[in-house]
Amino acid sequence: MSNPPSPEPQRPSCGRACPLRAHWYVGPVCVMLIVLAILLGHSGISPTSDNVSSIPEPVLHPYTGPESVPAVGAWPCFRGNAACTGVAESSLPRTLHVAWRKDLEGPISSTAAVVDGRVYVGTEWAGLYALALDSGEILWHCREAGTITSSPHVVGNRVLVGSYEGDFRAFDAATGEVLWSFQAEQPIQSPAAVVGDRVIFGSYDRRVYCLAIEDGAKLWDYEVATEVFCSPVVSGRDVTVLSCGNGTIYTLDAEVGGPALEIATGQIALATPARVGAYLVAPTYMGTVLCMDLNSDDTRWVFDVGNQAVVFHSSPAVTGKRVVFGGRDMRLRCLDFDSGEELWQFRARDSIDSSPVIVGDRVFVGSDDGNLYAVALETGKLLWRYVGGEPISASPAVAYGRLVIGNSGGVLVCFAAKP
């Protein structure tokens, strides 16, 4: 594989808006996925009803910028942690109330990052926002960030996020100043992962990129079979990514790139998988969930709903006992982590593309029916519901005793204990 020359990092100013540089190429795989989504996404189809291996310690240099370690209970990235398990460190009050609502400009499919009393979230029309967690006050706004359907990753004093225009930028977390920018060849929907002093993400251009957090210099890239939509999953220095069009699993070395492991699944997969120990749990676009053993390259189990028209776009929340994920058949499902056996279903009123978050003994998830749901992790029983009115494809961010989520109407809502 030959790599193209590394683009020089750019340092644009965030003080002015820039016109969107739309990339219309999405590739044959993405065209197929869009057609599938249109035909099947809201079809209303209703089907019938721990071994933990040792992981090598990372040898990469940690990022040593200001405040480089988020406080315990933060939500710094798409699924809350490097393994993308969707399990919150923070607890939530038993009864949630709306602490604040903020109307932003454009639909919100981006999952917020919440670190050090600030909320960072992208919108599809108006770039990146930073808000105060306690009040919802807008602290800064960078329209130049473009069309954001990815999710920010906060490390130290930097907010890292890519855009549909193909720009990947680092922002100063306090001021919103653009510190550096890198241009991929096609849109970036993949939320970024951080390993030591480097940031790693995928693109529609069929590459996985690794940049230096400090200055945006390209350290390596690696070409995969098809577009990459999901977030890389990190364990030690192992970085696992899915090639969406054929579901090939690549495990790369964060220091040098190159595949340490490659597993062909033959299934379209857009959701970000989760890793617990040696096991990777990956929902697919074809009505299945795969649990792969990355140590042996073996399939531990496959859950099959029995209908390939059922699409799983929701990333799983995974503990050592449970796997919870949503589907476009309007169902939230829970599987046994060891066997893949289905334990329960909860039915919403429309598709569930939102990725669930496990908070203690509860699961929180949004739906295209406009509701934010809380159900019991053990039984799937409905415990609480917030009627927001607009579809929710973003996922909850849970931090410091609060839950933050946006909807397609551009409304960002923060829930907390009653004052």
Question: What pLDDT score does 10 carry?
Answer: 39
DSSP-assigned beta bridge partners for residue 357: 364
Question: What pLDDT score does 65 carry?
Answer: 52
111 Rama class: left (phi>0) / alpha (psi -120 to 50) / beta:
beta
DSSP SS3 for 27 = helix
Q: Give the mean model confidence (pLDDT) for residues 233-242.
A: 94
Chain segment 288-303, per-residue pLDDT in tens: 999 999 998 899 999 9
CA-to-CA dists, residue 351 to 285, 330, 370, angstroms: 13, 4, 10
DSSP SS3 for 326 = strand
Question: What pLDDT score does 102 carry?
Answer: 98
Q: How many helices (H) and strands (E) does the chain have?
A: 1, 32
DSSP secondary structure string for all residues of 200-217: EEE-TTSEEEEEETTT--
Given a cut of 90, is residue 6 above it in pLDDT?
Answer: no
Question: What pLDDT score does 24 carry?
Answer: 32
CATH code for the part of the protein at 81-275+343-416: 2.130.10.10
Strand runs (DSSP E) across 71-149, as ranges? 97-103, 113-115, 118-123, 127-132, 138-142
In degrees rounded to 5, what are phi and psi of residue 219?
-95, -40
Residue with tokens 């598709």: 351
CA 314, CA 269: separation in Å to the nearest integer?
10
Neighbours of 349 (CB within 10 A): 10
Q: Give the mean model confidence (pLDDT) for residues 304-330.
A: 95
Q: Which two tokens stand for residue 382?
A: 């409905």
CA 35, CA 345: separation in Å to the nearest integer?
27
Given a cut of 90, is residue 62 above it in pLDDT?
Answer: no
- Helix or strand holding residue 301 (H, E): strand 298-304
> Among 2-6, 123-127, 373-377, which is the least confidently predicted range?
2-6
Exposure class string for 304-330: b at 16+ Cβ within 10 A, else e: ebeebebbbbbbbbbbeebbbbbbbbb
Chain segment 8-33, per-residue pLDDT in tens: 333 334 543 333 333 333 344 443 44
Chain segment 253-267, per-residue pLDDT in tens: 999 998 878 999 999
Question: What pLDDT score does 28 carry?
Answer: 42
CA 6, CA 219: separation in Å to the nearest integer?
8
* Residue 48 CB contacts under 8 Å (≥ 6 apart), including other chains: 306
Q: Give the mean model confidence (pLDDT) for residues 156-169.
A: 97
What is this structure's pTM?
0.85
